[in-house]
Amino acid sequence: MQHLSNLSDLGQEVARLRRDKGLTQKELGALCGLAQSTLARFEKGNVSEFGSRKLLRLLEVLGYGLTISAAKPRFTLDDALAQRRLEGSEVARSGTAAPAESRL
């Protein structure tokens, strides 16, 4: 399963699915009740928002659905600092230095 994290990625994926089905933007738009220009802007990531009804209808016509999953947490500077502190405390307890590639 592919993780799509923004509207632009979602539009590109819809474009790929549409092409895989052999449909033009005009044909898919007609099936969904969308103007070809609206679909084109969505596929190119040139929209600031895209309604959920439109999206769900597009996916339905293409034979797909929407799945919600937990987002993977991103490694932050706070995470790096915490890891560094942990490695430092392990070094202090063992009396040996951490390998160079594990140091930040």
Q: pLDDT, tens digit, for every residue of 87-103? A: 887 766 776 655 555 54
Residues 6+ apart with CB under 8 A from 7: 42, 45, 47, 48, 49, 50
User: Given its phi and psi angles, is residue 61 left (phi above 0), alpha (psi -120 to 50 degrees) or beta?
Assistant: alpha
Q: pLDDT, tens digit, for every residue of 6-45? A: 899 999 999 999 999 999 999 999 999 999 999 999 999 9
The Cα 67–Cα 101 span in angstroms is 38
What does the domain layout of the chain look like in residue ranges?
7-62, 73-104
CATH number listed for the domain at residues 7-62 = 1.10.260.40
Neighbours of 37 (CB within 10 A): 11
